[in-house]
Homo-oligomer: A and B are copies of this chain.
Amino acid sequence: MATPKRDTYTPQSLLEVAVAVFNERGYDGTSMEHLSRAAGISKSSIYHHVSGKEELLRRAVSRALDGLFAILDEEHARVGRASARLEYVTRRMVQVLTAELPYVTLLLRVRGNTGTERWALERRREFDHRVADVLAAAVAEGDVRSDVDGRLATRLVFGMINSLVEWYRPGGGAARDTEVADAVVSLVFDGLRAPGTT
């Protein structure tokens, strides 16, 4: 074991370490001992900051959830034609996923074994329903196809967006991030088919 370092952690920097360990080992597979070793400070130093690993999980998934829910309060998500709102939300979801990658990754891997995990799953479902409502409104306005069940379409679109956590890595620069967001929006709304062909 490395020599314990002086505890210079802030709540945020300790959270970053914890999220990295949770994503590497799984939340269930992470002990306070693992967190202590990864942070290089004693368990009691960690308890000085937080009540335990569940509080770290709650803070981490809250950061992801707050980022996602904040999208729905933005003007372009609230005002205008539903299909334009859905497109806006899709693009912003990609941006939040890439900007908050470790936090969203953790959120998407939550299983539901503890109260905090079940709460996170419940909040995720609530977000999904809010987006599904926008999709349903776009169907009602005639801009989104009605031949695919809305619940199924929402799941598949979320599946495509959320798959970014499997392969997206930051550091490609703003142009790359725009390319990724543009690609998701293009495929979600218009699919692979070349315009004008059938």
Q: Which A residues lie at the B interface, using CB under 8 A?
A: 26, 28-29, 83, 86, 135, 138-139, 142-149, 152-153, 155-164, 166-167, 179-180, 182-184, 186-195, 197
Bound state CA distance, A190 and B145, in angstroms?
10
Task: Assess whether B194 is in contact with A145, with CB atoms less than 8 Å apart.
Answer: yes
A139 partner residues in chain B, CB cutoff 8 A: 194
Known: A189-B193, A194-B142. A184 touches B167 (CB 8 A): no
A166 to B: closest C-beta gap in Å: 7
Q: How many copies does the complex hold?
A: 2
Task: Assess whether B157 is in contact with A192, with CB atoms less than 8 Å apart.
Answer: yes
Which one, B148, B158, B167, B182, contacts A186 given CB within 8 A? B148
Which one, B26, B29, B194, contacts A144 given CB within 8 A? B194
Task: Assess whether B189 is in contact with A192, with CB atoms less than 8 Å apart.
Answer: yes
Do most interface residues of chain A lie in helix, strand or loop, or is the interface mixed? helix
Which one, B86, B183, B190, contacts A190 given CB within 8 A? B190
Bound state CA distance, A28 and B28, in angstroms?
12
Residue of B nearest to A24 (CB): B111
26 example contacts (A-B, Cβ-Cβ < 8 A) are as follows A29-B29, A86-B192, A135-B192, A139-B194, A142-B194, A143-B197, A144-B192, A145-B186, A145-B190, A145-B193, A145-B194, A147-B186, A148-B187, A155-B163, A156-B163, A156-B183, A156-B184, A156-B187, A159-B162, A159-B166, A187-B188, A188-B192, A189-B191, A189-B193, A190-B190, A191-B191
Task: Assess whether B164 is in contact with A159, with CB atoms less than 8 Å apart.
Answer: yes
A191 partner residues in chain B, CB cutoff 8 A: 186-191
